[in-house]
Structure 1
Amino acid sequence: MSQNECLIEASAEDVFAILTDGWSYAAWVVGASRIRDVDPHWPEPGSRIHHSVGAWPLLLNDTTSSLEYEPARRLRLRLRVWPAGHGEVEFTATDTPTGCRLVMTEQAVSGPISLLPKPLADLMLHPRNDEALRRIKLIAERRRT
């Protein structure tokens, strides 16, 4: 399991406005290149974001599903990472005096990557998730100004 966190100078509500806008998913998810569709009830559990990963012309269509959602506090997603398997990502936010603390936890739950020793899997996930949090932070702080 890989865990990353960052402090963002924006409220948890502002950060979750980004996380729950399915059409902005490709702006902060490393590897996602375009959004094809977003289920109308996103991010309610069971709803999905339909996206593509890769770079043209080598694009793969994929989906991300919502597993749990608590407004402005918690979002848990199931990622299809074809052909590597499935992963679960959880975002939790807590307000701070100057904004919020966002924690991102990810683990592989099936496929070849789930067979890797946890420290090795973390070496692969941690830098990518740091970049995702950096993107969320930039978007949230930009919206705030």
Structure 2
Amino acid sequence: MSRTVKLFRCSPEQIFKVLSDGWSYASWVVGASRIRDVDSTWPAKDSQIHHSVGSWPILLNDTTTVAAIDAPHSLTLRARAWPFGEAEVVIECEPEGPGVTRVTMVEHPEGGPAKLLPPPLTDPVLHARNSEALRRLAYLAERGGHATSRSSAE
């Protein structure tokens, strides 16, 4: 089980604005290369994002499903990327003060080859990937959910 934590300079509601936009998934999830479809009920429980993993010419089509949601506090996803496997990913948002949110991402392999490997082998890889995912998510959330909304001062 990999646990990654990052402080965001925004509210939990701003983070959930990005998480609630299933079409933004490939912008912040490391490994997701494109979104093929998003259920109209996203991010309701059992709704899905249909995504692809990899790059051309080898793209694997799969899904991510909402297992539980308590917006704007937590989102639990069941992410699939077969033949690599699947994982439960929990994203928790806890206010730390005015305009600051502690975001914790916990990933646990649930099936496939990754589940067979011992945590000392998988955790460093998952932590590195999830650190980058949280960096990307912060970039979107802190700028109002749009990667193109950077101010001219930056």
Per the shorter chain, which TM-score range? Answer: over 0.9
Match of 2:49 in 1: 49
Partners in 1 of 2:100 and 2:16 — Cα distance? 12
Structure 2 CA distance for aligned equivalents of residues 32 and 142 of structure 1? 21
In the TM superposition, what is the alpha-carbon distance from 1:45 to its structure 2 partner?
A: 1.1
Q: Does 2:91 correspond to 1:84?
A: no
Give the equivalent residue in structure 2 for 1:122.
Answer: 123
1 CA distance for matches of 2:129 and 2:84?
Answer: 15
Please report how far the alpha carbon of residue 41 of structure 1 lies from its aligned counterpart in structure 2 after TM superposition. Answer: 0.8
For residues 142 and 77 of structure 2, the distance between their equivalents in structure 1, rounded to whole angstroms, comes to: 23
**Count of matched residue positions in the alignment of Structure 1 and Structure 2:** 145
Q: Which amino acid is 1:57 matched to?
A: P
Structure 1 runs not aligned, ≥5 long: none
RMSD: 1.2
Is residue 2:112 matched to residue 1:111?
Answer: yes
Superposition TM-score, scaled by structure 2 size: 0.90
Which residue in the other structure is 1:141 paired with? 142
For residues 33-44 of structure 1, the aligned pairs below 5 Å read 33-44=33-44
Find out whether 1:58 has 2:68 as its counterpart.
no
C-alpha distance in 2, partners of 1:107/1:4?
12
Matches of 2:127 and 2:75, distance apart in 1: 19
C-alpha distance after superposition, 1:20-53 (max 9, x if no partner): 2101000000011111110011111111000111
Please, which runs of 5 or more residues in structure 2 have no aligned partner? Answer: 146-150
Q: Report the secondary structure of 1:90's partner residue.
A: strand
Measure how far apart 1:142 and its partner are.
2.0
Aligned-residue identity in percent: 51
Using the alignment, how far apart are the partners of 1:30 and 1:110 within structure 2? 19
